[in-house]
Structures are given as C-alpha cells and as structure tokens.
Structure 1
Amino acid sequence: MSLVRATLRLQLSAGFTFADVRQHLSYFSSLGISHLYLSPVSTARPGSTHGYDVIDHSAVSPALGGEHGLRALAESARAFDIGIVLDIVPNHMAAHPDNVWWADVLRHGLDSPYASWFDIDWSPPVHTLQGRVLAPFLSGSCRSVLAAGRIRLALDEYDETFFIEAEGMRYPIAPGSLEENGEFPQDTLKLYENNTLANRHRLEALLARQHYRLSGWRLAARCINWRRFFEINDLIGVRVEEPSVFDAVHALTLRLYEEGVIDGVRIDHVDGLADPSGYCRRLREALDVRTPGRPEGRRHQQVWLVVEKILAADEHLPDSWKADGTTGYDFMDQVSAVLHDACSETALTHAWQEVSGDPCNAAEQVWQVRRRLLRRHFVAERRTLLKNIEASKRFGGPALPWGPSLTAAMLDGVLCTLPVYRSYIDLNTMPPGPQREAVKRFQQLTPPLAAKSQEDTVFYRYGRLISRNEVGSDPDTIALSPSAFHSANVWRARHAPRSMLATATHDHKRGEDVRARLAVLSEIPAAWIQASRSWLHRPGLAFPLTSKLQAGERYILFQTMVGAWPLDLSPDDHAGLLAYVQRLAQWRLKALREAKQSSDWLVPDRWYEQKAEDYLVSLVLDRSERPLIGDIGRFAASIAPSGVMNSLAQTLLRLTVPGVPDLYQGAEGWDLSLVDPDNRRPVDFTARSAMLALLDATTDLAQLLPEWRTGAIKQALIARVLGLRRKQPELFDVGGYLPLDVSGARKEHALAFLRTWRDQSVVVIVPRVCAEAVMARVPALPMPEPAWWQDTAVTPPTQLKGARFADVLAGSAGKVLTGVDADGRLLLSDVLSALPVAVLRPTAV
C-alpha cells in the first residue's frame, strides 16, 4: 500500500455503508485519493448518524455492513491502491442501555468490573449520589415522570428478567432489589403497576434501591457525577489511561491494523483524555509493534497517526506525543486568513459595534461566556474540581492562606482566561491523591469549557466577519500576512510534514467555499457595510423586536445568506428559494440556541424562534420582499467570482504545501454548506464521477473556466494536482518548501513557493486579495485581467534560473511559458493569463 498522500473524509451511516462506498472507488481513484478517511466504524447506538456514540468498541457496526463489509471494502480499495484510515473515539462512549459496560455499571454499581472503566466520581459532593451514578435522561423530574405513568416495571419475555422502562428506555435492576410476588412474573408486575398510590410508592422505593438515580436531563449541569463529552448527557467519559481499558477500547483497531485492513488512525478529541501525550505514545507503540506482522507489501510504511486538536496561534503539538500532526484545523485557519485583507479591520469592527451595540471583541466575549457556562452548564464539574482542590490542601498539598470562597474565585479567573484549550501537566510525575486528581479534573474541564464558550457560543454571537468564526480560528484576527503563512509552512515541512491539511470537516461552521466568498467582504468593506445597512433598515419587513441584539443576529444572517447563496439560484426561482430557506431556517434555529441570548438549548424561547423563522421566510419567499431578496442575491452574485478565485487558491494551497491534503466528501465541487447537519447531506458521487470522466490528461483546465459555476474547474484542479502527487510522492511528502519572492506593482496580491526534492521541483503561484480587479471584469470570470498584474513577477530560485516552465494545469499538451523578463522572473501577466492559479514544472534548465 502506498503512503498516505491524500485522504477523502466519508461520513458513514445506515444510508451510506461500506457497500455504498465500494461503488465509487473508481471515482475516488480518479480523483487521486490514496486513503479513505472513514468516520467511526465501531458499533454505535441504534439510529446513530455519525458514529461518535459508540456502544461497543469490539465490533464493527452492523448498520454499516459489519466487519465483513469493512474487509470487503478494504480488499476492493486495494485494487485501486487505496487504503483506509479510521476515526477512533477513545474519549467517550454512549451511555445507552445497549452498551453492555454501561448497563453492567447500572446493574451492579461499584461491584461492576466496569465501575472504574468510566470516569465516574463515586464520592461526589452531592450526598444522594454517594456510591451511585446519575442517570439524567428523563424529560422531567423523576417524580413528575413517575406520576405521569411513564416509568414502569417491565418483563423481558425472552429471558424472563425484569427491568425498569422509563420513557421508552430500558434500565437494569440491581440483584436483590426487586420484591417479587409469588412464582408468576405477572403477579410481580401487578404489585408495581402505577395505578395506585401504594404501588407508585413501591415503584419509587424500587428506584431508590438502584445503583443509579434517574433524573431530568436539566439536573445534569448541577449534579452529574461523571465526565461527559462536552455537556452532552448521554456520552460518558472513558478512562483509557488505565491499561485494561486501553486494551479493550483498542483491540479491534489494533487487530485491523495488524491484518492490513487499515493504515492509520485519527484520534477524536484527544484533549478530553487524562494524559494525551502518554495515550498517543502508547497507541503509537501498540501499532508499531504490530507493523512487522502486517501482510507482505504493507510493512514498509509507518502507521499514520493524527489527532483532533485545536491549537492556539503560537502553539504546536509536542514532539513527545509521537503523532504525525493534527487533523488540520490549524491549516484551515492559516489558509483562510491569508486570503483576507487586514486593511478592513477597523471598518468592519466599527460597523459591527454600531450594529450590535457591543464594544467587546471576541476574546472578551469568550471570557464572559465562560463565566456564565461555569455557573450554568458546568456547575457539577466545577464543584467536583473545587472539592479536589480543597482535599489536596488537607492531604499534603500546598498550605494556602485563604478559604474556599477565594479559591473558587481564583479558579474561575484561571478557567475563564486560559489562552489555550488545556495544559499538559504529566500526571505520572505526581503521586496518587487529591492533588493529582485536581490537576486531572482541571485539565479535562478546560477543553469543553473553551469549545462551548468560543466555537458553540461566541462564534454565533460575534458577527464582525463570520468567515473568521471557524473551528481553529480566532475571530479577532482578520488576516494573516503572506510571510506568516510561509513561516507556518516552513515549520510544518520541518516538524510535521505528514500533518493533515483540511479546509472542510464534518464539524465546520461554514463550508470552505462559503468562507472563501465571505473573505471578499474584507476587501470591499465599504460596499458591504453600505449594502448590509440598507438591508437592516429596509422599511416594510417587520421584525418582532428591534433591539441591538436582534440587529446583530440579522447582520450575521445576512452574511450567511450572502456566503451560502447557491451559484445557480435566481431570486425568481421559487423552488430554489424554498430549498434555500429551509437550509437557512435549520441553521438559524441552531445559531439562536447556540448563541444563548434570544433562545437556548436549555430553555428554548419557542415564541422568539418562530418569529425569527417567520421573518426569514418572509424575507426570502414573500413576493412583496422580492426587491430585498433580489438585492441580496445580486450582491452575492457580484462577489461570487472573487469567492471562486479564493476557493481555487485555497484548494491549490491545500494540495501543495507541506502536509497531507484531506478532501471532505463532496467538497471537490463547490461547498456552500452550513454547520451540521447541512454539511452532512448525501453526496451524488455518481454525478461527480460522470463530470470528471469528461476530462483526461490532455485537458487544459482553462477550458473549464468559462463554466466555473458548475464546479468542474475545482474538481479538475484537485484531480490534476493529486495526480501529480501520485507521480511524484516524495516531492510532496518529504520535499522542501521555499517561499519565492514576488515583486512588482501587485506583489501583495500573489503567493508563490517552490517544492523541491532531489532533481524534482514545482513552482506554485496563487492570487490573493484581488476582488476589485475580478469584480471589474466583464464578462465575469474568477480571475483578474492579465494586464492587471502589470510588472508583477515571481523570481525562481537560483537552481532554476533560465529554466523554461510548463503549467501542469494546462494538460500534457500545454504550452511552455515564455513570459520571463530580462532578469529571469516569471511574469504573472503571462503565468496567470489563462487560469487564476498555476503549478509550474521546469522542462529544461
């Protein structure tokens, strides 16, 4: 099997199984994909749409086709020289009755062999949970649900065992806790029928004797005594730091690797683990020791291991982790930022503050939101951490001259202002005890607090420019300079050449081409501010409330509408508008609740949500508002070519800078998706395959540019460059990266670099911040007129001085460039005369 050159992320489900993937392997190969990067394949709870709610780590999901289906896919893929990378979920599992480990804990409590496998605090501050586990899965309080008759004793007719059924979910009964009535099961059921007060008290007493405490879901924030994934009540933390748990969780993955079914792993939410560094090293060692036992032909490549990790701007993965890199959020931020114009920062900031009435920047809002979430969403976790800190003071910890109240205040201050997702204190350097437990709890609390406050709250509140409100990005940073972008690539080439490069993921807030289009607003802030101001104050379209808060929400809505406006949508296309508004309404409901201002997931404001939807539907579909939706559509169309140019630049950079490019399913065409579930819609790979089949190695991609709206140009660019990576894998896998000098009148509007390895080299050139030149072009094309570049040129390195170059994108029959000035520089007026981007290969020196 070849090395990991390029991955394709596929979201598996019951509607898109291993067998379905096999039908499209020829197409994936034609794109140049080396590995399928699959969403989790372990058995998830029934009806799972994403696979991160695992109930059985030891078996491949039957809903996806089982292990037989996975092996059949791997065998078929090998015929196309395609391997498989698995997404694994070591941090948590679904707290679901079908999870046998969890069910055993509910049945036996501390006597369960799995009691220590989950991250449960069996001695929590809440005294009613001492030795018990909270089960916060009811729609209301246990007493109210019981009174409504939605909790009952039931009998499994297959094995004749009793269980508790609560709102359709099954809960086990502790041995010896059920008072049976006679030898017939039906007599016992009658004893607990919820039809008399005495029977109800008997049923209530039975619940009190269990090792779990049923409660309403809202109680979790205040009382839960086990670590959750973020604040999701039915995903429970797993203690993979324990060797027995690690072995059980990874047995399937390790076996599949040793047997050659998979070639690599992606680790989900590594920051949730107690010891990310130790975990990564242990997993690397476990995989490496199995490499010699892999099938012949698949022993020469080291396993590929990447981690889902959000890095701060100046943060890097420690070498001690032994990981190849991250899943690419850092690159996604960098490549987007370098396509933005920093000159717009003041104008966009003032516009947002005027609209929203909020002078705070994103970082200040994050601090405020963290404080609120600590007191509302993470009350139990904070209380447990404070308990551990106080215990550490009593048992050998530092003697602190202040009491619990001041300790709590200082803890809140640290939690609310920590500039990274978490610290990485090595717990192995600390003796067991309360102090070590306090450090562990602290380090596992900061990641969900950071994510929920920024990604899942402030990203939906702060609307200065929402293309910068993306996972891994800093909304307070509008742009990145070309020199800083080059520096990041140089660092990656030296330290993490096999790190993943992503521009779209299953977790992104907006599709890669939405962000690329919205980046254009940073180049034309005056035009955007004038247009959005007119839309906000358009008379006639009533909104129920007119506060600054609602104005800010609409400002974000208008950016979303402009960014996600389909390229083929006309304001007169009622069916198209209907499909569009349905997607927007789904997004807006989530946005309102995530922002936690006008509505909330905990206590939704149904009235406001309905009024907001009515406003949106009227805006898009009401004929009387046709002038307004027409204005929005025309504005989106005016910046669409510039957005496409950004998209092509972003795509080419992902394919050629140091790292392993990942392609998110369907993003080989224009990706104008919004946050999930919009970004997880089915992809018509059959249609994509038919479009790619029209091309061959001789096709000049410039022929596709006039029909840029179809997306064929983006797909062809991906296939052509990944084809180059297939032919020259070492050039991109271990090759050097050298920034090239751009000079001339438009030097700030282009990026250029050299990839080199031995006698192989390639020059890559892309445009940046050229929107005004593109918008002036008639008819519309996603590139400036060649003459606009004037004397702008790229200086090749010394070893290529005097070389002649051929553009890979022009096809095998493409012309050799002659646009070299007297100093041997490549003139962009020639290099970028037919396409907005270029991949130049020297033909002779």
Structure 2
Amino acid sequence: MTPTATYRLQLQPDFPFSAAGLAVPYLAALGVSHLHLSPVLEAVPGSSHGYDVVDHSRVRAELGGEDGLRQLADTARGHGLGLVLDIVPNHMAAVPRHNRALWEVLREGPGSPYARWFDIDWAAGGGRVLLPVLAGRVGDELERLRADGEVLRYGEQEFPLRAGTGGLPLAELLDAQHYRLGWWRLARTELNYRRFFTISDLIGLRVEDPEVFAATHGKILELVRDGVVDGLRIDHPDGLADPAAYLERLGEATGGRWTVVEKILTGAEPLPAGWAVAGTTGYDALRRIDGLFIDPVGVAELLGRYQEFASPAGDRGGHWATTVRRAAYRVVTHELAAETAVLTRLAVRICAEDPALRDHAPWALRTAVTELLVRVPVYRPYVTAGGACSREAEATLPDAAVREARAVFAVPEEASAVDVVRELALGRLGDGPDRAAFCARFAQTASALRAKSVEDTAFYRYVPLISATEVGGDPGAPAVAPDEFHAFCTRLARDWPTTGTALTTHDTKRSADVRARIAVLSECPEQWSELLTGPALAAPAAPDPQLAWQAWQTAFGCAGLPADELAGRLGPTLLKAVREAGLFTSWTEPDPGYEQAVSDFVAAGPAAGSGPARSALRQFADALDPFARANALGAALVQLTMPGVPDLYQGTEREYLALVDPDNRRPFRRPPAEDGSTDVSTDEKAVLTTAALRLRRDRPELFGESGTYTPLTAQGPAAAHCLAFCRSGEVVTAVTRLSLRLAGAGGWRGTELALPDDGRPWTDLLTPGREFPGGRVPVGELFAERPVALLSRAVREASAGHG
C-alpha cells in the first residue's frame, strides 16, 4: 500500500508508543495515511533519537516494547492509518555492555562468529581493535580501570575480559585483550573500525554479508510480514558497501513494500535508476521548493553585503566553492585521517601484489587518495569492484578532478598515483578482497567527507543566507526558477511518482517556517544590511562579524517565538554553529573564552528579551510578516500537491519554529483544540494542510503513479511571481513567489492565469463558496483571500467511485 502522505513522529522515552497512540485520532483527522516512526529497535538507554541501535532482535522496551508497537499499529489501523518505520542498516552503537554482538567480538576476538558483523582492520591494530573511550592517556587513567570477575570496568563503562585473563595484573591484563582501550583523541588517526561519519560511538555494520543482513533485519521483516509495518525509510544508504545490492535484497524480503532512502542528491544528480526503491526521503524536493522563494538577484546582492560586513577570507566563507574545498581538506586530513589511512594501506597492498603497480610510494598514494576524495562532486560513487562501470560512476571522479589532483605533485611520474587510485576507486584495478574493500571504502569515505565538510562545516562558515544552508542545498546557487522546478516535477512524475518529499525533518537545520521568513531577506538585502549596521543591532558587540550576521538572521527567522523561549533556544543553536564551523572553537578543541563571548553576545543581543535591539528586530520582522506568510503557505502547498508522497514532520501542519537538533527533536505535543476535538479549522496553515491531505486521501488516483503533472504559466507583467501547476487535470495549485518584490513593483497589474476548461467550475478548497470558471482568471482575484490557491473540480459521475 503506497502512502498518500506520512506524518513523522520522533519516538523517545518521553514520547513512547502509547503517547503516539493517543495522537492517532488527531493525525487521522488531518488526512495522512501513515505514521512515520523514528527507529523502534532497542537502542542505548535514554536515547532521544534511536539511531544508536544495540539489539536488532527486540523492539525498544523504553518505548513500550513489541506489544506497545503492535498495539499502536492496531490503533492506527482502526483509524485507517498504517505505519512506516525508519530503519538503520549502516551502524550500531559501540557500547559493549548493551551491544551483545560487539561484546562477543571484544571477548573472543577475530574468531568470534560476530566478527563478520563489523568492518574491523585487525592487522592495523596488531590484532586488536582500538576503543577510544578513555578521558586521558591510558597511563593517566589506570586508577579508574579495574577488573571485576570477567568484566573490566571504567567508570560506568564495561568491557568483557578474554577468557583466562581475569587474574592478571592490570598492565598485563590490558595487553592480553582483543581490544585496546585508548585516549579518545586517538580515534582521529588510529581508529581501525569503520564508523558513522566521525562518530566513534557508532560502529559500521557489514549488511552486505547475507548472515549479517538476516540477523539485523529479522525483526523488521517479521513486523512487515505480520502486517504491522507497511513501508520503510532507510537511513544513510551511502554508508553501505553496496547500496544497490542491499536495496535489492531488502525489496525481495519485504515483497516490494514502499521504501524510500535518505539519499542526498547533489545538484542535478539523479537517483540511481536501478535502485529497488520508490525514491528518496525528499531533500531533493526540499531544495527545489525552497529555491522558488529565493530571489536570485537579491541573493547575489546579499552576498556582496555579507562580504562587506563580515570580511570573510580563507576558511571563513567568502566564496562557496572555496569554502567547501577548504572544509573538505580540513576534514579529510583531520577528522577522517584514520579513514584515509585505511585506504592508503589497501592501496599499498594492492600495488605491492602487482608488479605493474609497484614502486608507488605510500605518501604518493595517500596524497592521491586525499586529492581525489576532496574533488568527488557528489556524495559517493556507485560502483562495485569488477562490475561494469557506468558513465554516471565515472562522472563521480571526472577527468578534471584527476588533472587537478595530478597538479599537486611536483614530479609527473609520481602523479601517476592519482590514476592508480582513480582506477581502484572505480573497481577497475587490482584483484581479490583488497580491490573490493578499496572500492567500497573509498565510496563510504567520500560520503562521510561530503556530509562532514559540507553539511557540518561549510554550511556554518558560509552564511550570507542561512535558509539556503540546508541538507541537500546549494548555498552557492540557491534560487530555483519556475521552469527548473517544473522540469524537476515532470521528471518525478515520470520516473519516481511515489518518491518522498519533505520540507522539515529531524535533520533540517531550521524548520521550513524559519527558512521561509529568512528567505524574504533575499528580496530586501539593502534593508537587512542597514538594520544590521544600525545602532540598535550593532550595539551588542559580537566576537566576530560573521557570528553577528548569522545570529541576527537566526533571531529574525524565529521572531515569532516568545522572548523568553527564544533566549533558551538560540544560545545552544549558535554555540553548536560555531563549534561545527571550527573557525575559533570546536567540539574537540573548545576555546572557553570565545564560547563565553558568544554566549554573552547572544544574551545581550539576539536573545535579549527587551531593549532597542529586540524592538528594532521585532519591528523589522512585523513589517515582513505578510511576505514570510506567503513563503510559508506557498512552500507547504507546493510540497503537499507536487509529485511524490509528502512527509510532514511533527507539528508542521501549523506554524512550527525550530532550529537544529536537539531543538527540533522535542517530544510531539498535539495542539489543543478550543473545544477538545481534533478540529484544525482555526489555524490558517492547518486549514491548507488539512484540505490538501484530505484531497490526496480521497482522490489518490490524481497524485499517485497514474497521476499527471502539467505546468501552468501566468500571463502578464507579474507572471514570474505566480507558480502554478495542474494534477491530472482535476486539481490546480497556485502560489505567490517573491511577494515582497511583487508588492514593490505594484502588484499583479492585470496578470492572468489560464485554468484548464472542460465546462466544470473550479472550487476553492481553502475558502468555501468561492468558484472560478475555466479559462483566464485574474491572478489578483485568485489570490484575493490569501497568497495561495488550491482548486478542485467536482468528481465526474463516471469516476465517482474513486472519491
């Protein structure tokens, strides 16, 4: 059963299955078809997200266990809803006392039947796996380590002892284990197991092994077979050795249930056509929708004013491409140094075994690995060793990247290491398991590098318009023209009609409503600059101007929050921003003085509850409220009616102002209705959302695999400000874009939109009683009530059974 719309709930101990069950009547009334649940398998106790799985055979007890999940499914079915589960195939929590599989590996070593579960380079660790868990060097932590029977304890952490070693003196005991406890800082360079990005607490899984797949998916597949689960969301497929093969196996095991993947596509990159999925989770749609409401001319001017204000240079985000490249070098040589070392060791071994490849120096191969990794233009190549290398796969390591990488070498003969590494990465060189390992690990490392250098570093360094620094986004060219959007939707309708679409997720750095307000700044860069340099906002001194720019934009985006609530949420968000940027402080090398200056500035300025700065920002925000409203309503309606299956994040059916996690992962609370019912008719965004969702539910044939998408083009002086399309000849969506520029130019001024005409009138689903004939309609009349319109024709008698 393909969903018509899903609603994401963040499960956690404070919001278990029973709480989700209580929300079911309200969510059914909205019009969604499925609840989309965050991970439900057993996780680290207290986890607020569930991505740190420790046991794939059990449903999480803190959420209510399997009985609780099955009861939720029954409750949902009773209201016409199904369940979609988020699953995590790439990694587990590296917490031995909770992770039985890892416990057994640490106790028995490479001979353990569980050793095949994890990508551990035993040779690199001298036969032991490094566990970077100590607060200091091991010599400084000996007093905190003690053997207790068959267990080694370090604070609250526990580790298994190798059989027969429990009675040894501590120093000998530590050396006798299949693991080595080390200072946490060693993870950067010495780690010898694959992890999730740079998080050593999450150890990578080898689900490419059929036995590991079966063991880690057994419970999920049982829930699918039992009808408890209707569909799946796959977390981070780019971390897998062979995503295509994994998805094929999963599709066969689920009987082809609706499945979407959290795949970030860069630029015009397509989703691999052969993947056995319905599509992505929707970040590609998010970028296009957001881009519709960004003014390309204004954003260029905004960049100039940002450069003038913040004087960014080097790593500090003056130019997008340069910022990304410099961030990539930083990450690949520091945070991912261990991963680069793995690739270098594999390349050295492959070259040593082939006489034609010998005498490539390890340093040259390491340099080649580094230089090619930072030039991969997408998240990762999709190729397996020995398999056919497609043109798309070759494009992930283009000739231009090879030429640039070769230019780094002073001696041309040594530069040939670049060609060797490229061929290894594309699976066309070498032989045996090392070739396959290099090909997979290069792709996995490229994905981690892209995520860490772009999403978690460059996005916090390049901040002219922070609404554009979103997962899957392109801050260097954030605006999307209507023609480009229509072309994207036409491709979706043709190739991926049931893909996921999204505007806000648990991973977005700012909710859609926050981004909608900030996007208005691209239409008034001069006014924004004047406000920021004026006496009211300039008075609270910031540690650096770049921080001031993004702090005030963040506060502007959250202007709808009460002052006391804003103060409590803005500080942690901006502290995270400066740590992720890594310019003056970081998670691993914090600068207490700088961080205190950040906190002082935020408290005195952007988060101040009163004073001239607060008053000036509030006045500025109030003046732009109508235009922010147009953006928010327009983005919501486009997502809900474009090709694909819309996923609504918890609370976003109404105005939802949230910042980066953990701010956006607070427990869901159903909004109270005035009369205690599930009525949502008193909130403008909820009215729009409910109308669109119920339309999709009642007439799924218009939006599903058989539905069509037809762009509609307005005519007149303000035609560029109207984005419109028709679904299956029966539903028209029309929204206002760049409404501030529109108002400044004098409004619609006779602009018209031609509605398809078959003799039936068009009914406005957002305003009861309003109808329009087919043919040309003045856009000003269409948008007389609100800046968006959702029109539907009456169901024909012959097709009434579909309603």
Looking at structure 2, the residues matched to 345 and 679 of structure 1 have their Cα atoms a distance apart, in angstroms, of 27
Looking at structure 1, the residues matched to 786 and 178 of structure 2 have their Cα atoms a distance apart, in angstroms, of 67
Looking at structure 2, the residues matched to 565 and 815 of structure 1 have their Cα atoms a distance apart, in angstroms, of 33
Q: Is the aligned partner of 1:662 residue 2:647? A: yes
- The residue aligned with 1:780 is none
- The residue aligned with 1:17 is 16
1:78: Cα distance to partner?
A: 0.4
Q: Is the aligned partner of 1:552 residue 2:519? A: no
- The residue aligned with 1:43 is 42
TM-score (norm 2): 0.90
Partner SS for 1:123:
coil
- The residue aligned with 1:292 is none
Question: 8 Å contact 2:513–2:655 — kept in the other structure?
Answer: yes
- The residue aligned with 2:762 is 805
Deviates more, 1:398-407 or 1:483-492: 398-407
Q: For 1:326-347, what per-residue CA distance to the aligned partner results, in whole angstroms no more than 9, with x for missing partners?
A: 0001001100001111111331
Partner SS for 2:85:
strand
Structure 1 308/535 Cα, relative in aligned 2: closer, same or farther at 3 Å? Answer: farther
- The residue aligned with 1:792 is 751
Looking at structure 2, the residues matched to 639 and 249 of structure 1 have their Cα atoms a distance apart, in angstroms, of 51
Partner SS for 1:791:
coil
- The residue aligned with 2:6 is 7
Q: For 1:548-572, what per-residue CA distance to the aligned partner results, in whole angstroms no more than 9, with x for missing partners?
A: xx11111111111101122xx5xxx
Structure 2 counterpart of 1:151, one-letter code: L
Question: 8 Å contact 1:536–1:555 — kept in the other structure?
Answer: no
Q: For 1:360-417, what per-residue CA distance to the aligned partner results, in whole angstroms no more than 9, with x for missing partners?
A: 4222111111111122111111111011111111223863774333322222211112
Q: Is the aligned partner of 1:384 residue 2:342? A: yes
Looking at structure 2, the residues matched to 397 and 555 of structure 1 have their Cα atoms a distance apart, in angstroms, of 57
- The residue aligned with 2:326 is 368
1:715: Cα distance to partner?
A: 1.0
Looking at structure 1, the residues matched to 648 and 633 of structure 2 have their Cα atoms a distance apart, in angstroms, of 14
- The residue aligned with 1:195 is none
Partner SS for 2:648:
strand
- The residue aligned with 1:222 is 189
Question: 8 Å contact 2:283–2:472 — kept in the other structure?
Answer: yes
Question: 8 Å contact 2:9–2:668 — kept in the other structure?
Answer: no
- The residue aligned with 2:713 is 741
Count of aligned pairs: 748
Q: Is the aligned partner of 1:162 residue 2:150? A: yes
Partner SS for 1:806:
strand
Q: Is the aligned partner of 1:348 residue 2:308? A: no
1:538: Cα distance to partner?
A: 2.5
Partner SS for 1:435:
helix
Structure 1 388/694 Cα, relative in aligned 2: closer, same or farther at 3 Å? Answer: closer
- The residue aligned with 2:734 is 765
Question: 8 Å contact 2:15–2:668 — kept in the other structure?
Answer: no
Looking at structure 2, the residues matched to 673 and 745 of structure 1 have their Cα atoms a distance apart, in angstroms, of 37
Question: 8 Å contact 2:147–2:166 — kept in the other structure?
Answer: no
Structure 1 counterpart of 2:367, one-letter code: A
- The residue aligned with 1:634 is 619
- The residue aligned with 1:54 is 53
Q: Is the aligned partner of 1:131 residue 2:127? A: yes
Structure 1 725/170 Cα, relative in aligned 2: closer, same or farther at 3 Å? Answer: same
Question: 8 Å contact 1:817–1:830 — kept in the other structure?
Answer: no
Looking at structure 2, the residues matched to 746 and 400 of structure 1 have their Cα atoms a distance apart, in angstroms, of 66
- The residue aligned with 1:572 is none
1:843: Cα distance to partner?
A: 4.7
- The residue aligned with 1:256 is 223
Deviates more, 1:827-836 or 1:425-434: 425-434
Bigger Rg over Cα: 1
Alignment of 1:767-786 (within 5 A): 767-772=736-741
Looking at structure 2, the residues matched to 772 and 415 of structure 1 have their Cα atoms a distance apart, in angstroms, of 42
- The residue aligned with 2:141 is 145
Q: Is the aligned partner of 1:592 residue 2:578? A: yes
Partner SS for 2:498:
coil
Q: Is the aligned partner of 1:413 residue 2:371? A: yes
Looking at structure 1, the residues matched to 673 and 461 of structure 2 have their Cα atoms a distance apart, in angstroms, of 36
1:436: Cα distance to partner?
A: 2.1
Structure 1 counterpart of 2:593, one-letter code: W
| Uncovered stretches (5+) of structure 1, i.e. residues with no partner | 155-160, 181-201, 289-301, 570-575, 697-703, 705-711, 777-783
Structure 1 338/458 Cα, relative in aligned 2: closer, same or farther at 3 Å? Answer: same
Looking at structure 2, the residues matched to 339 and 692 of structure 1 have their Cα atoms a distance apart, in angstroms, of 35
Alignment of 1:307-346 (within 5 A): 307-346=261-300
1:580: Cα distance to partner?
A: 1.1
Looking at structure 2, the residues matched to 329 and 137 of structure 1 have their Cα atoms a distance apart, in angstroms, of 34
1:686: Cα distance to partner?
A: 4.6
Q: For 1:480-513, what per-residue CA distance to the aligned partner results, in whole angstroms no more than 9, with x for missing partners?
A: 0000000000000000011111000000000100
| Uncovered stretches (5+) of structure 2, i.e. residues with no partner | 388-426, 797-803
Identity %: 40
TM-score (norm 1): 0.86
- The residue aligned with 2:401 is none
Structure 1 counterpart of 2:614, one-letter code: I
Match of 1:755 among 723, 727, 740: 727
Looking at structure 1, the residues matched to 724 and 64 of structure 2 have their Cα atoms a distance apart, in angstroms, of 46
Deviates more, 1:82-91 or 1:408-417: 408-417
Partner SS for 1:528:
helix
Question: 8 Å contact 1:536–1:551 — kept in the other structure?
Answer: no
- The residue aligned with 2:396 is none
Q: For 1:449-490, what per-residue CA distance to the aligned partner results, in whole angstroms no more than 9, with x for missing partners?
A: 111111111111111111100001011013000000000000
Question: 8 Å contact 1:40–1:87 — kept in the other structure?
Answer: yes
Alignment of 1:525-536 (within 5 A): 525-534=525-534
1:844: Cα distance to partner?
A: 9.7
Looking at structure 1, the residues matched to 360 and 144 of structure 2 have their Cα atoms a distance apart, in angstroms, of 49
Looking at structure 2, the residues matched to 653 and 275 of structure 1 have their Cα atoms a distance apart, in angstroms, of 34
Q: For 1:526-561, what per-residue CA distance to the aligned partner results, in whole angstroms no more than 9, with x for missing partners?
A: 11111122269734x344x4xxxx111111111111
Structure 2 counterpart of 1:245, one-letter code: V
Partner SS for 1:810:
coil
Q: For 1:86-120, what per-residue CA distance to the aligned partner results, in whole angstroms no more than 9, with x for missing partners?
A: 10000000011210000001111112111121111
Q: Is the aligned partner of 1:841 residue 2:799? A: no
Deviates more, 1:471-480 or 1:422-431: 422-431
- The residue aligned with 1:239 is 206
Question: 8 Å contact 2:718–2:742 — kept in the other structure?
Answer: no
1:42: Cα distance to partner?
A: 0.4
Alignment root-mean-square deviation, CA:
2.0
Looking at structure 1, the residues matched to 680 and 642 of structure 2 have their Cα atoms a distance apart, in angstroms, of 25
Structure 1 counterpart of 2:524, one-letter code: I
Looking at structure 2, the residues matched to 466 and 537 of structure 1 have their Cα atoms a distance apart, in angstroms, of 18
Partner SS for 1:74:
helix
Structure 1 379/725 Cα, relative in aligned 2: closer, same or farther at 3 Å? Answer: same
Question: 8 Å contact 1:803–1:844 — kept in the other structure?
Answer: no
Looking at structure 1, the residues matched to 209 and 596 of structure 2 have their Cα atoms a distance apart, in angstroms, of 48
Looking at structure 2, the residues matched to 369 and 720 of structure 1 have their Cα atoms a distance apart, in angstroms, of 44
Structure 2 counterpart of 1:501, one-letter code: T
Structure 1 314/398 Cα, relative in aligned 2: closer, same or farther at 3 Å? Answer: farther
Structure 1 535/303 Cα, relative in aligned 2: closer, same or farther at 3 Å? Answer: farther
Looking at structure 2, the residues matched to 70 and 634 of structure 1 have their Cα atoms a distance apart, in angstroms, of 48
1:418: Cα distance to partner?
A: 1.1
Partner SS for 1:613:
helix
Match of 2:171 among 179, 186, 204: 204
Partner SS for 1:377:
coil
Looking at structure 2, the residues matched to 114 and 689 of structure 1 have their Cα atoms a distance apart, in angstroms, of 55
Structure 1 689/340 Cα, relative in aligned 2: closer, same or farther at 3 Å? Answer: farther
1:602: Cα distance to partner?
A: 0.6
- The residue aligned with 2:248 is 281
1:694: Cα distance to partner?
A: 4.4
1:621: Cα distance to partner?
A: 6.7
Partner SS for 1:588:
helix
1:35: Cα distance to partner?
A: 0.5
Looking at structure 2, the residues matched to 695 and 223 of structure 1 have their Cα atoms a distance apart, in angstroms, of 55
